[in-house]
Amino acid sequence: MNKQREKFYKIITYGCQMNERDSEKIAGMLENIGYNKTENLDDADIIFFNTCTVRKKAEQKVFGKVGSLKKLKEKNEDIIIGVGGCMMQIEETAEKLYQKLPHVDLILGTHNLHRLPVLVKKIARNRDRIIEIWDQQEGLIPDVPSRRSGDYKAWVSIIRGCNNFCSYCIVPYVRGREKSRPDEEIIQEIKELAGQGVKEVTLLGQNVNSYGHDLDQNINFSQLLKKIDKMTDLKRIRFMTSHPRDFSVDLIKTIKNSDSICEHLHLPLQAGSTPILKKMNRGYTAEQYRSIITSIRDEIPQAAITTDIIVGFPGEKEKHFQETLNLVQDIKFDMAFTFSYSRREGTPAADMKQQVPEDVKDRRLQELMKVQNEISLYKNQELVGKEVSVLVEGPSKNNPDKYSGRTRTRKQVIVPADENLAGKIVRAKIQKANSWTLYGELSSTQQDVYSSTG
């Protein structure tokens, strides 16, 4: 009998959790048509790039990386090279890639990801080059198989796209307008995940707070959270990303009154100066942001708050930057992802006057990072001597012979290695801390302990 050779796929993912989640779907679809996962490019029959376009540099990186596969294609012309994700949703970029890199077989948009198996089969059969990009999602988002990358944690998309049009961001143009998934579908998916042993689910969307406004039924994000909390057996529920403009008091109460919704809020500030926030089209002032944080801390004092901040936005003067630094010092975020503004063609900010010179952006970024690192260290050291509950994930990448896990507040904790603990929730007493990591000793191996600390 003629036994068919095993076929392999390799996915290279750039960007945010939404892309990571899409890559799980790409993996699921490819496995469904007979491909197996490999980490080795030389073994792959399909190499798929799931791209991000939020930063200009990402584009150069992807062109470089895809370009470097030319030799591989010359050695093995049967290999299928595909590129998808947000970057391919920009017509000129997709066209440029198609023209410049003729060894690419498939270019796929974000709205028609579910077409991947059909197109791969077509290419394998006819050796056609295919470029297929839909402008928008047609009808309901089809249910596609996915291969989850973790055993105990999973991402679940609840809303795709964004209606906000922040002036620096390309997402609304490449991901389209907001489209919520029906709540029954989300709950069904989570029940299945919980049945498979998943303990923690992160609900994903560019702006989870606006969930439901486009559905026929009357449901908002807080109501969805309450339903998931009540109807599923999850130990931990997380969500990201929240938009300060749509953040509600009801949401704070919902988190406070639930055992399973984790006390961690990622709430992008972007700038601490109201005139800059206005130019960014963020829809809130620095004072309104400050008052949301006060409300969260009044109701949930143990909550960890993390954020994103951009320095060097067009028109940002020294005094505006100082306002951001002051706000960061006052609020004391547990952690901040800091960026220097990167001009993104196709967005209004790219054409704004008063672009800030690169050396000024670099200096401000360094200054901000220094301030934030000290705050992160202070916040983490406050936990030394305290007990936290940790979902143990598995071996630590950077600490041989140790395991790594996360607190409810999403802080990383390194604990003594014990393979029996993978996927369990344990209590650990924190012994030491740096700006990014906590180190603990196990104080109890009792499973599934809820804790108001950490």
What is the binding site for ligand SF4 (CB under 6 A)?
Answer: 162, 164-166, 169, 171-172, 206-207, 243
Interatomic CA distance for residues 254 and 257, integer angstroms: 5
Nearer to ligand SF4, 118 or 352 (CB): 352
The nearest distance, CB 377 to ligand SF4, in angstroms, is: 28
DSSP code of 87? G
The nearest distance, CB 320 to ligand SF4, in angstroms, is: 19
Nearer to ligand SF4, 156 or 171 (CB): 171
Tokens read off for 229: 């909390």
> What is the Cα 366 distance to its own chain's centre?
24
Say if residues 128 and 98 touch (Cβ distance below 8 Å): no
| Helices (H), ranges, 332-357 | none
Residues in the chain: 454
The nearest distance, CB 283 to ligand SF4, in angstroms, is: 9
Say if residues 27 and 9 touch (Cβ distance below 8 Å): yes
**In 319-411, beta strands by DSSP E:** 335-340, 387-395, 402-407
DSSP, collapsed to helix, strand or coil, labels residue 329 as helix
The nearest distance, CB 54 to ligand SF4, in angstroms, is: 8
| Helices (H), ranges, 101-220 | 116-126, 171-175, 183-195
The amino acid occupying position 310 is I
The amino acid occupying position 446 is Q
Nearer to ligand SF4, 109 or 176 (CB): 176
Interatomic CA distance for residues 398 and 380, integer angstroms: 19
The nearest distance, CB 115 to ligand SF4, in angstroms, is: 24
Neighbouring residues of 327: CB distance < 8 A, sequence distance ≥ 6: 269, 272, 286, 289, 290
Nearer to ligand SF4, 21 or 243 (CB): 243
Strands 106-108 and 130-132: parallel
Nearer to ligand SF4, 340 or 404 (CB): 340
The nearest distance, CB 344 to ligand SF4, in angstroms, is: 10
Nearer to ligand SF4, 23 or 207 (CB): 207
Nearest residue to 415 (alpha-carbon basis) of 425, 406, 427, 402: 402
Beta bridge partners of 390: 407, 426
DSSP, collapsed to helix, strand or coil, labels residue 215 as coil
Nearer to ligand SF4, 28 or 172 (CB): 172
Nearer to ligand SF4, 344 or 361 (CB): 344
Helices 221-231 and 249-256, axial angle in degrees (round to 10):
10
DSSP, collapsed to helix, strand or coil, labels residue 225 as helix
The nearest distance, CB 285 to ligand SF4, in angstroms, is: 16
The nearest distance, CB 170 to ligand SF4, in angstroms, is: 8
Neighbouring residues of 367: CB distance < 8 A, sequence distance ≥ 6: 325
Nearer to ligand SF4, 123 or 277 (CB): 277
The nearest distance, CB 381 to ligand SF4, in angstroms, is: 32
Nearer to ligand SF4, 265 or 391 (CB): 265
Interatomic CA distance for residues 202 and 294, integer angstroms: 24
The nearest distance, CB 289 to ligand SF4, in angstroms, is: 14
